[in-house]
Structure 1
Amino acid sequence: MPDCPRQADKPKIAISACLLGASVRYNGGHKESHLCSQVLSEFFEFVPLCPEVAIGLGTPREPIRLVGDPRQPRAVGSVDQAMDVTQALADYGQRMACELDSLCGYIFMQKSPSCGLERVKVYQDHGRPAELSGRGIHAQAFCSRHPDLPVEEDGRLNDPVLRENFLTRVFAYSAWQHVLEQGLTRRRLTDFHARYKYLLMAHNPVQYKALGNLLGSMGKSDPAHVGPRYFSQLMAALKKCATRRTHTNVLQHISGYLKQAISADDKQEMQHLISQYRHGVVPLVVPLTLLKHHLRQHPDPYIAQQVYLQPHPESLSLRNAL
């Protein structure tokens, strides 16, 4: 994978327009995210969306809020509840989900009655929010059409673990799209799984075995039927954040390929750094860097293809804080 993708190679991510600095909020302002507009924009092609402006609400405007049943809320004006934009937001979300079929992810504005993914306040008749929170109307409509699409809220991306997890899934989604563009065959499906073996093991060891069994029992089944089921389970598995324990397990597995190639002192150093990582002394990038060094000196064709070693561009430095 190239360290800085060319424009044509950049995965597409939809994003709430206010996060890129567009003055589209109800008060005429924005919520620019430096991470998104200055850092991630080098690696992704952003598709900015503002559902509230898109359905004809002006800027500035009366803010909307969710009311009623948290499981099926309505979006109405915070002052004039006769202004009900629920259906308009839902229709826009479904239309964008159909039109933007080449996306690899979506970054939503948190707590927004149109775009929030979770913890959006839903107000009751007495003016207080319900105990249960809701999801923005546009976000719900969009995500219901693309249940496997990696989605995240801007605030959660400030957590290095959640950020790395989201972007890992974005690049996996993009890689799967490339497989589909080439045409899904049994060989391409099994090759894809082989490349994701250790990444899956780090995120969800149980699901890694289940997916291996799924492909192992594929037989003469049409990959067009097995593929979507496989990929849906893969994305669900990758959504689980890897831990120091599971990363350590993968590092030990991969280092095992070097046991006949490197000296006793090198093996001891490798084990020492893996142990330091396991106990939180050093970040993941430290043992990984040494492991990659030895693999360059003693290459193994199976390990060389493993996405785990570089699931995203190195210059994003995502593993420096894990």
Structure 2
Amino acid sequence: MLQPVIEKPKLAVSACLMGIEVRFNGGHKQSDLCTQSLDTYFDFIPTCPEVAIGMGIPREPIRLVGDVDHPRAVGTVRPDLDVTQALADYGEHMAGALGGISGYIFMQKSPSCGLERVKVYRDNGVPFESGGRGIYAQAFCARHPDLPVEEDGRLNDPVLRENFITRVYAYAAWQRLLKTGITRRALTEFHSRYKYQVMASDVVQYHALGKLLGSMGRDDPNEVAPVYFSQLMQALKKCATRRGHTNVLHHLSGYLKQTLSSDDKQELQALITQYRNGIVPLVVPLTLLKHHFRHHPDPYVALQVYMQPHPEPLSLRNAI
């Protein structure tokens, strides 16, 4: 039987990270992660707000000045060059134009695209201790609070990278659900698939989401759905700890308690303990679990996103 073809999730990305020469000096900041690892699994949509608003290449660099929470983007040579409103307006525009994306990778430290810790300067030219957010990124993200977003530099951290890609695939799965239509059954089944993934990240929210859907009753599922999904994405945004993963691994191993031999159980529990203690990466006990479930299939476990939340060749769990 032919499997349905699932489109690759779309990711918006700062154009300079794709090797496109759009920076103020005519250069780029090519990301090997984007161009050599992720490009097989995602359709990238490059964007550069500074070029889009007509600043040209090369151009005068800009920086953030004034209030950290509400900075202005001005020229570093000509302070009267103020592109704050133009960048904010373009962020609003692209928030609507890029409605089909499942995530966004921004250029770090950029006064237009940086997500956090972007330098904001006082009137005397000294930067504040705390940073701000790029003007374009602020406007865009305000319109898409649940969208997975991350900076390129932070994606060098294997835990943050795995968390981001997991959220992107969850967002893409939700987009597919919205296209087929929200029903009580569809919403319940979607949550059922994500139970253990949520448990690994936030056990409190795991119970809260179950309670939310359990009390749905005769409520319109189309009204419950956005509340549910927003809470789901907030839960998944929390990076799962070794303790969280260990909790899920123990729960999953419970489905094998009637089928495994005593020696197999001991081996599995030993590997879970080694993972918990930081001796082996997550992929080690998880691979053994998958091996046992291939020989002793469980229909509920087979549906769990946690078992493979992203393409296996990405090897995202090899270093966490």
The 1:264–1:8 alpha-carbon spacing in structure 2 relative to 1, beyond 3 Å, is closer
Q: 1:227 aligns with which of 225, 228, 232?
A: 225
SS at match of 1:15: strand
Q: 1:167 aligns with which of 134, 144, 165?
A: 165
Alignment of 1:55-134 (within 5 A): 55-134=53-132
SS at match of 1:188: helix
Tell me whether 1:294 sits opposite 2:285 in the alignment. no
SS at match of 2:171: helix
Tell me whether 1:37 sits opposite 2:35 in the alignment. yes
The 1:320–1:103 alpha-carbon spacing in structure 2 relative to 1, beyond 3 Å, is same
Cα deviation code 1:283-308 (max 9, x no counterpart): 10000001001001010101110000
Instruction: Give the partner amino acid of 1:59.
Output: I
TM-score, normalised to structure 2's length?
0.98
Q: How far is 1:29 from its partner?
A: 0.5
Q: CA RMSD in A?
A: 1.2
SS at match of 2:91: helix
Q: 1:244 aligns with which of 225, 242, 245?
A: 242
Residue 151 of structure 1 is matched in structure 2 by: 149
Cα deviation code 1:108-151 (max 9, x no counterpart): 00000000000001111101112331100000000000000000
Instruction: Give the partner amino acid of 1:234.
Output: L
Instruction: Give the partner amino acid of 1:264.
Output: S
Cα deviation code 1:208-239 (max 9, x no counterpart): 00000000111000011100000000000000
SS at match of 1:103: coil
Q: How far is 1:96 from its partner?
A: 0.5
Instruction: Give the partner amino acid of 1:303.
Output: V
Q: How far is 1:245 from its partner?
A: 0.8
Residue 208 of structure 1 is matched in structure 2 by: 206
Paired residues of 1:7 and 1:45 also in contact (CA < 8 A):
no
Q: 1:194 aligns with which of 192, 195, 207?
A: 192
Residue 140 of structure 2 is matched in structure 1 by: 142
Tell me whether 1:259 sits opposite 2:257 in the alignment. yes
Aligned residues: 318
SS at match of 1:173: helix
Paired residues of 1:10 and 1:43 also in contact (CA < 8 A):
yes
SS at match of 2:58: coil
SS at match of 1:178: helix
Q: How far is 1:276 from its partner?
A: 0.7
Distance 2:70 2:6 in 1: 39
Tell me whether 1:27 sits opposite 2:25 in the alignment. yes
Gaps of 5+ in 1: none
TM-score, normalised to structure 1's length?
0.97
Q: 1:279 aligns with which of 277, 284, 287?
A: 277
The 1:124–1:6 alpha-carbon spacing in structure 2 relative to 1, beyond 3 Å, is farther
SS at match of 1:58: coil
Residue 11 of structure 2 is matched in structure 1 by: 13
Distance 2:295 2:6 in 1: 33
Instruction: Give the partner amino acid of 1:157.
Output: L
Distance 2:176 2:188 in 1: 15
Gaps of 5+ in 2: none
Residue 50 of structure 2 is matched in structure 1 by: 52
Instruction: Give the partner amino acid of 1:282.
Output: V
The 1:114–1:7 alpha-carbon spacing in structure 2 relative to 1, beyond 3 Å, is farther
Residue 307 of structure 2 is matched in structure 1 by: 309
Distance 2:246 2:117 in 1: 33
Instruction: Give the partner amino acid of 1:222.
Output: D
Distance 1:239 1:282 in 2: 24
Q: 1:270 aligns with which of 264, 268, 271?
A: 268
SS at match of 1:281: coil
Cα deviation code 1:135-171 (max 9, x no counterpart): 0000000000000000000000000000000000000
